[in-house]
Structure 1
Amino acid sequence: MRRKILGALAALPMLGMIPGAVQAQEKIVIGEINSYTALPAFTEPYKKGWTLAMEEINAAGGVNGAMLEIISRDDTGDPATAIRIAEEMVSRDEAVMLFGGFLSNIGLALADFAKQKEVFFLASEPLSDALVWSKGNRYTYRLRPSTHMQAAMLAEQAAKLDKKRWATVAPNYAYGKDAVAAFKSELNRLQPDVEWVSEQWPPLFKIDAGSTVRAIESAKPDAIYNVTFGGDLAKFVREGSLRFLFEDRIVASLLSGEPEYLDPLGAEAPEGWIVTGYPSMDIDTPEHEAFGKAYMDRWGEAPKTGSIVGYNSVLSIKAALEKAGSTDTEALLAAMEGLEVPSSPTGPFFYRAADHQSTMGAYVGTTALVDGKPKMVDWFYADGANYLPSEEDAAKMRPAE
């Protein structure tokens, strides 16, 4: 019996020599959830972006000697489906953290799941301010510049034009409401004599562009703030152009300079709109040029906004894992407080401890037709840190924990 026990104990270290055991020890499983079938224009480039980052990291030796394994699932645009997938990833697939999300309602649902299950969630894309402020929690951080940040970037440019009468059009859900509230607040602060003469709230992806355009036109605004995107944006642009809504009117438009939304407009794209977006291959910093070349070599196409979001998501995960030195949730959360990502295609950024928002910025410019194709011109990079409330003020917006 003594010989059997000693033999069994002696064999235990040999487990590390079994290929399957080594593989289990040398990989970090991460769950990724997004609306791939519901919103392919953004999520397909996004997936290519995070895939490229994962491949580059693993080719360089992984993180702390371990390979990243990202398990990706499609939530179909449904919050309940996203929650079911998240549960499976954590309990069955043993994912040490989650990332992803596009629509704000799904991002908020996943954030609540993260809180209830005490798992780290990096919200890559959802833009609702509630995600880091009114409904923020210690388990959720957000990468993309928020609704408030991008609206403030546009308001800064709009205030310089000194237009008094403004109309707004935005989808009637969390993101649209946050976007209008943020823009109005910032523009009122910068230009107190502004009048808000019309607010249009079409249902998401079901805009009646004709009635929306007529309602705005009847208010006779000097300028328009637009938050529609995707198919709604295309319908609004087409109907507005037919009715000359945009002639001699300033339009400030959130996200409309992103290739995902600007390129499909083709020759119908409006000119002179002030937009947030992404000028893709026109960015000439060394970091972005290296990223752009790698992306083109891997996928045979220019990167889009989603590509950057996906890529920077995995760079953030790598930085958090390296700083934590562990996959333990508490260690990851401690690492995320003030976490710096010193080198990314869009430049350095960090995650604020007070509200869990990253300082990743966005590009601001105007739309134009160049050789018959839509393009973002006269752009500049707006550092996200310059468009956030102080950390002290942001902390006051979050619920007590």
Structure 2
Amino acid sequence: MRARNYFVGAAFALLAGGMAHSAMAQDIKIGEINSYSLLPAFTEPYRKGWQLAVEEINAAGGINGKKLVVVSKDDGGKPADAQTAANELVSSEGVAMLTGTFLSNIGLAVSDFANQKKVFFLAAEPLTDAVTWSKGNKYTFRLRPSNYMQAAMLVEAASKLPAKRWATIAPNYEYGQSAVAVFKKLMSEKRPDIQWVDEQWPPQGKIDAGPVVQAVAAANPEAILNVAFGADLVKLVREGNTRGLFKGREVVSFLTGEPEYLDPLKDETPEGWIVTGYPWYSIKTPEHDAFLKAYQAKYNDYPRLGSIVGYQTIKSAAAILAKAGSTDPEKLIAAAEGLSMPSPFGEITFRKIDHQSTLGAYVGKTALKDGKGVMVDSSYKKGADYLPSDAEVEKLRPKD
């Protein structure tokens, strides 16, 4: 009897184990990499965004009936660590695709890994144009509007300013270099009378704001392009306010209207800067209302732009997987090229020609309200309206 019970128990154990394995086999894993420990102001809301997306996707039946699981890793802001994380996700976790990254140099490192290993990669945040153009590859797609797109949106307003003498301030790494280069190119095309009188290149995350402000002031520009963000932006604004750098000067600034960068400025927020950002409090569309309601219900907090990016990254990944009906990288690429889908900002499409999504951005001006920085006079700019022609893209992007 004991022997019989033992074998029955063993049989049940094997059956249960088989069922568990079968259930696990039904999961679809996505690998996610980001600079959580280095840039929490953006990445924590970003994580909340993608976690909300996973919850919604699985509540609606998953991906073709399979549960979606996201396996996340922190790259610590180091390209080499990001590539190590990517390798672990692919070789040990068996993920169907890679997503994420924030810093442009890290996005390029993971894109290069994806190209070498033939793994689908959906870059969430890195903004350098190289991701989809000069260093683009068939395995890499990008969600956020690129430097070119945001520069084109800002130039539309900046070119109407009377200022002729311009200075630039930007972090000295891939993102900052790319943003300045494309802004200067597009601005000079619209305004050949522009003079570029000074460039300041502080190290990312380590700005010494005093000398930077002093050097720009000495050049006596009529307008300033700023690309600094995060803690560097706070230091720059504080020092610039103290020394009167911004008084009587126009300022155009990438990303400054995003809550994660605007909120820390508090009552020091300079007014009248032309910025890209995310005025979540003034967007009145059905798509955004639905996202905002779900986000606030889950987290009892307001979203940042990182929340939108994280949410839409995983929603996009799920849409690609669902259309492909497979985790084969070649089928994922075929499914993603030209795929349209909803987003909190309206419908977006991943272009076949360069794998760039048409997600847009809001452009407006900074203002102070109740001792806090906000965006005013903002309007949404559709990404598709701020991209170069297909003929130009073909010159910029290498053949796969």
| TM superposition score category, shorter chain reference | over 0.9
* Residue 296 of structure 2: aligned partner: 296
What is the distance in 1 between the residues matched to 2:208 and 2:343? 40
Which residue of 1 is the match for residue 56 of structure 2? 56
Deviation at 1:162, TM superposition (A): 2.6
Equivalent residue, structure 1, for 2:22: 22
Deviations 1:301-326 (A, max 9, x none): 00000000001101111111121111
SS in 1 for 2:68: strand
**For 1:258-294, what per-residue CA distance to the aligned partner results, in whole angstroms no more than 9, with x for missing partners?**
0010000000011110000000132110111111011
Specify the alignment match of 1:363 in structure 2.
Answer: 362
Q: Displacement, 1:220?
A: 1.1
1:216-270 CA-to-partner distances (Å, cap 9, x unmatched) read 1111111000000111111110111111111111100000000010000000011
For 1:22-56, what per-residue CA distance to the aligned partner results, in whole angstroms no more than 9, with x for missing partners? 31232101100000000000000000000001100
Report Cα offsets for 1:37-90 as digits up to 9, x if no partner: 000000000000000011001001111111100001111111111111111111
- Which residue identity does 2:203 align to in structure 1? P
Q: Distance in 1 between matches of 2:373 and 2:194?
A: 31
Q: Give matches, 1:80-95, under 5 Å.
A: 80-95=80-95
| 1:60-71 superposed matches below 5 A | 60-71=60-71
Partner SS, residue 107 of structure 1: helix
Matching residue of 2:226: 226
Structure 2: distance between partners of 1:74 and 1:143: 20
Query: Partner residue of 2:383?
Result: 384
Q: What is the rounded CA distance, in whole Å, between the counterparts of 1:31 and 1:55 in structure 2?
A: 16
Two-structure CA RMSD over aligned residues (Å): 1.5
Residue identity over aligned pairs, in percent, reads 60
Match runs of 1:162-177 below 5 Å? 162-177=162-177
Instruction: Tell me what 1:7 maps to.
Output: none
Question: 1:131-170 residue pairs with structure 2 within 5 A?
Answer: 131-170=131-170
Query: Counterpart in 1 of 2:348?
Result: 349
TM normalised by structure 2 equals 0.95
Distance 2:206 2:76 in 1: 18
Q: Determine whether 1:76 maps to 2:76.
A: yes
CA gap 1:397/1:57 in 2 versus in 1, 3 angstroms? same
How far apart in 1 are the matches of 2:391 and 2:397?
11
SS at match of 2:155: helix
Alpha-carbon contact 1:16-1:22 (below 8 Å) kept: no
Which residue pairs with 2:7 in the alignment? none
Q: Distance in 2 between matches of 1:380 and 1:37?
A: 33
Equivalenced residue count is: 388
Q: 1 CA distance for matches of 2:92 and 2:354?
A: 31
Aligned partner of residue 327 in structure 2, secondary structure: coil
1:201 aligned to 2:201?
yes
Q: Aligned partner of 1:254: which letter?
A: F
- Report how far residue 148 of structure 1 moved: 1.1
- Residue pair 1:354, 1:392 contacting (<8 A) in 2 also: no
Aligned residue identity for 2:111: A
Q: How far does residue 16 in structure 1 lie from its aligned partner after superposition? A: 11
Cα deviation for residue 18 of structure 1 reads 3.9
Q: Using the TM superposition, give the Cα deviation of residue 95 of structure 1 relative to its aligned residue in structure 2, in angstroms.
A: 0.4
In the TM superposition, what whole-angstrom CA distance separates every residue of 1:187-218 from its partner, at most 9, and x where no partner exists?
11111111111111111111111111111111
Partners in 1 of 2:374 and 2:63 — Cα distance?
38
Would the aligned equivalents of 1:103 and 1:126 in 2 still touch at CA under 8 Å? yes
Q: Report the CA distance shift for 1:15/1:111 in structure 2 as closer, same or farther (over 3 A).
A: farther
Corresponding residue of 2:336: 336
Amino acid at match of 2:376: V
Question: Offset of 1:17 from its aligned partner?
Answer: 10
TM (norm. structure 1) is: 0.95
Asked if the contact 1:31–1:86 (Cα under 8 Å) also holds between the matched residues in 2, the reply is yes
What is the aligned partner in structure 2 of residue 104 from structure 1? 104
Aligned counterpart, 1:43: 43
Residue type at the aligned position of 1:33: I
Residue 372 of structure 1 pairs with residue 371 of structure 2: yes
**Aligned counterparts of 2:98 and 2:23: Cα–Cα separation in 1:** 21
1:321-332 maps to which residues of 2 (within 5 A)? 321-332=321-332
Whether the aligned pair in 2 keeps the contact of 1:108 and 1:131 (CA below 8 Å) is yes
What residue ranges of structure 2 are gaps of 5+ in the alignment? 1-10
SS in 2 for 1:99: strand
Letter in 1 for 2:49: G
Question: 1:389 is matched by which residue type in structure 2?
Answer: P
Q: What SS does the aligned partner of 1:368 have?
A: strand
1:201 aligned partner, one-letter code: W
User: For 2:73, what is the secondary structure of its paired residue?
Assistant: strand
